[in-house]
Structure 1
Amino acid sequence: MKNPPKPYLNGHYTPVTDEITAHELTVHGSLPPELNGRYFRNGHNPKPGITPTHWFRGEGMIHGIRLADGRAEWYRNRWVKTPFLDGVPFTGTELEVSAAATNIIFHGGRYLALQEANLPWEVTAELDTVGAYDFGGKLTSSMTAHPKEDPVTGELHFFSYSPFPPYLTYHVANAAGEIIRTTVIDGSGPSLMHDFAITREHAVFINSPVVFDHSEHSGIPYRWHDDVPLRIGVTSRTAAAKVTWFEVEQGAILHVTNSYVDTQGRVVLEGPRFDRSAWESSWKWWVGAPGHGVTPDAGSTFHRWVLDLATGKASEESLDDLATEFPSINDAHTGAFNRYSYAIAFPGAGLDGYSTIKFDTVTGQQRLFGHGAGRMPGEAVFVPAEGGTNEDDGYLLTVVSDLKADASQLLVLDAGDLATVATVELPRRVPAGIHGHWIEDHK
């Protein structure tokens, strides 16, 4: 009997089989004139005939859309041409053998495709592959796919993690892209650390109960352990200093929304939280195990943790009960208080389909943009409006997969009221992916 297709090779996630380029795309509505730049979105797109053992093991493909002067100039998609794409296996030590499939950023004049177990891979503004990048020889370990750029200093903060000591190493690069500081973080363990956060003064790290485990054979050797607590570590950004670890209610944090210092001097961390049931159900989808659900998120919900460095005490609260993931904010508020955040709301908890959700953490209210039957949005990327004065004066960019039409669009929403501003018809269906960024021309 033939095995059913893996969920990450089916439906919205069905890979495309080639690379194309198209020019002068059809636009419905009016693209804001300040949208001059490139929207790049990375994700896993296995080559034809390849069935990865885990969603996160698929080869990386970047989809790019160039907007300028109210026009959608081009679309192109390119695999990141690493040794992994050519079939070289990654066994845990070859830093250049990367899928390069999780995120893409721009810093220090370079476009970098990221996957957390490996070195970054540099690509051009037209998505041609340049090669592995090690910051001039100063990066000798992996790099997280979720670095944080400080909007005030321009510094890039990131980390490496490992199943073996040192488990966690913190790096800072200046605005020019030169690593200026590397610090081993004390007290960490062999945890799966996908994301972290910064405030304007602190770095905030996460040790979850999902830890290195030889018995996990999916290719991502991490598994939930009930005897390992969820811990959040806070340290200074500027120098080697004491790390304060806070033990909180058990759960897993894959992505963070933001972190900041509140008016009482406490560190606040916000983001989606998985309990064990939600994590293990989601993991079944990620590996295509029997009994998996219909979506890759089985119930992470928006939470807030408040960490008091003066007393060593922590508190937490649930902010919403919808299943949400892939959070984003106006990046000008990275490390500082943000009132608004955005995410994908997954079917369930009263929702029949996918939505883009906006949270207001001051009023506790939410606003939903439903995408309709058979349509799935990606991560919402915030782009500030020219002359905007409010935190939510701007636009959200998201690629929407439409199964019924076998097509995709770049959707531009008003970040204030989630009204549709413009839609760009893409020349092909773009598989649901992971993370991306808007990169303005002036950068």
Structure 2
Amino acid sequence: MTPDYLSGDLAPVPDEIDAHDLPVTGELPEELTGRYFRNGPNPRPGEDPGHWFAGHGMLHGVRLRDGRAEWYRNRWVRTKAFTEDAPFVGETGVDLAAVTANTHVIRHSGRILALVESGFPYEVTPELDTVGPVDFGGRLTTAMTAHPKQDPLTGELHFFGYGFFPPYLTYHRLSAAGELVESREIEVPGPTMTHDFAVTEHHLVWLDLPLVFRLERGGMPYAWEDDYGARIGVTPRAGGPTRWFEVDPCYVFHVGNAWEDAHGRIVLNAARYTRERFAPLWGRIGGEQDPAVPAAASGAAVLHRWTLDPATGVAKEEPLDDRGVEFPTFNEDLLGRESRYLYTVADDAVVKYDQRDGGSQVRQTGGSTGEAVFVPAAGAAGEDEGWLLSVVTAGDSSRLLVLDARDLSDVASVRLPRRVPAGFHGSWLEEQ
């Protein structure tokens, strides 16, 4: 049988295409002039990578200008693993350029980077052609997370790398000009899958959770280990020791925003999995299913909040909803500062949360719904004044959906020339 990660909405497409003058329903705001890029795994025809996370990265791009959708194109990221079949681990050790670059795509200091957490980023052009791996002048000697955080005030890029051997976790900081200016170890007891982190005005927030690496497992060598424990760490951005807070066992792929409240506490919102919810998801995207897990068990995360109090050393926990959601996004002009609105996606919907009054809005999309990227309007008077961009796939067709972020109403829809497989993360790259 074809595994789940090669079928249905996850099924890869077989080739690269270009299309121009795409059909638009509604009216694209002229202010949306730039490129929407989205990354995700896409094995070549006939390949079975053994896990959804292991497929070669493919970028899908839509060029918007002056109220028109000028083009769509898709390109594999031509990493060493793609062009040379170079092994990630060889006779000389780990090759950080032999990766898939399949998780995210961002722009910083004029460079567009395709990211995966296992190795170096790959630079690509605005037309999605691959330039090559980036190690920031030889200064980066670890992997780079797929979830870096750009400070909206300084332009600095905060990120980390994790590995199989000590140091297990290393924090890095790029200047606004793209120079790697700081690297320091964050001490953790062992190698875990650290997918995301958070940044506040004065702190870095770490998730040290029980998805643990063991080389002998083979394949995707991570599994849940209760004995590892679960904790959240807070490190001063200016330097100093990390303060750790014990939390209930869980896993987090993606955080929302984090900030320091008026009492100096750290508030963190994220999509949280219990072990019971994580197991069916991990089995499904790895081509396996634990027979001890009921087939109908939910594999979804729910929105959760931790409030970390440095005065007491205690973490308060509270679920914010019981709806299954993922891929939280927000107005990143407020990254690290208190924000009111959080946007998430369910299987066939966009869900907007008001983190101040606890309310939520749901917009059904009629298909498999990708991460909703928030684009602020120029001169916006309100935090949610802007648009949400998401790729929605239903059957053999896909569209780029543009919603008004204030009320989730339709603004426009761009019909894409092919089905876009369900993938990971994307970015809006405004015209420069």
Q: Compute the TM-score of the two structures, normalised by the length of structure 2.
A: 0.96
2:158 aligned with 1:167: no
- Residue 402 of structure 2: aligned partner: 412
Query: CA deviation digits over 1:17-65, x for unaligned, max 9?
Result: 1101111111111001110111000000000000111111000000000
- Residue 377 of structure 1: aligned partner: 369
Distance 2:369 2:249 in 1: 30
How high is the sequence identity, in percent, across the aligned residues?
Answer: 51
Query: CA deviation digits over 1:50-83, x for unaligned, max 9?
Result: 0111111000000000111111111100000112
Query: CA deviation digits over 1:359-384, x for unaligned, max 9?
Result: 11111111111122xx1110000001
- C-alpha contact 2:22 2:70 (8 A) present in aligned 1: yes
- Residue 83 of structure 1: aligned partner: 80
2:223 aligned with 1:226: no
- C-alpha contact 1:285 1:293 (8 A) present in aligned 2: no
- C-alpha contact 1:285 1:295 (8 A) present in aligned 2: no
- Residue 103 of structure 1: aligned partner: 104
- Residue 349 of structure 2: aligned partner: 355
Distance 2:316 2:192 in 1: 22
- Residue 351 of structure 1: aligned partner: none
Deviation at 1:285, TM superposition (A): 1.0
Distance 1:295 1:332 in 2: 39
2:313 aligned with 1:315: no
1:2-17 residue pairs with structure 2 within 5 A? Answer: 4-17=1-14
2:390 aligned with 1:393: no
Aligned length: 426
- C-alpha contact 2:188 2:208 (8 A) present in aligned 1: no
- C-alpha contact 2:199 2:336 (8 A) present in aligned 1: yes
- C-alpha contact 2:277 2:297 (8 A) present in aligned 1: no
Distance 1:238 1:37 in 2: 35
Specify the code of the residue in structure 2 equivalent to 1:269: L
Deviation at 1:88, TM superposition (A): 2.3
Q: CA RMSD in A?
A: 1.6
- C-alpha contact 1:285 1:296 (8 A) present in aligned 2: no
Deviation at 1:200, TM superposition (A): 1.1
Deviation at 1:263, TM superposition (A): 1.2
Unpaired segments ≥5 residues, structure 2: none
Deviation at 1:311, TM superposition (A): 2.2
2:342 aligned with 1:341: yes
- Residue 264 of structure 1: aligned partner: 263
1:92-171 residue pairs with structure 2 within 5 A? Answer: 93-171=94-172
2:20 aligned with 1:27: no
- Residue 423 of structure 2: aligned partner: 433
Helix, strand or coil: the match of 1:417? coil
Distance 1:72 1:310 in 2: 53
Deviation at 1:295, TM superposition (A): 11
Specify the code of the residue in structure 2 equivalent to 1:203: L
Distance 1:145 1:34 in 2: 28
Specify the code of the residue in structure 1 equivalent to 2:192: S
Deviation at 1:399, TM superposition (A): 0.5
Helix, strand or coil: the match of 1:65? strand
Cα 1:297–1:106 change in 2 (3 A) is: farther
Runs of 4+ in 1 over 4 A off after TM superposition: 291-297
Distance 2:102 2:86 in 1: 15
Distance 1:338 1:215 in 2: 43
2:59 aligned with 1:49: no
Specify the code of the residue in structure 2 equivalent to 1:34: E
Moved more, 83-92 or 329-338: 83-92
Distance 1:244 1:186 in 2: 11
Helix, strand or coil: the match of 1:278? helix
Distance 2:78 2:247 in 1: 41
Deviation at 1:275, TM superposition (A): 0.6
- C-alpha contact 1:306 1:316 (8 A) present in aligned 2: yes
Distance 2:140 2:131 in 1: 17
Deviation at 1:191, TM superposition (A): 1.4
Deviation at 1:203, TM superposition (A): 0.5
Distance 2:141 2:300 in 1: 36
Helix, strand or coil: the match of 1:257? strand
- C-alpha contact 1:173 1:181 (8 A) present in aligned 2: yes
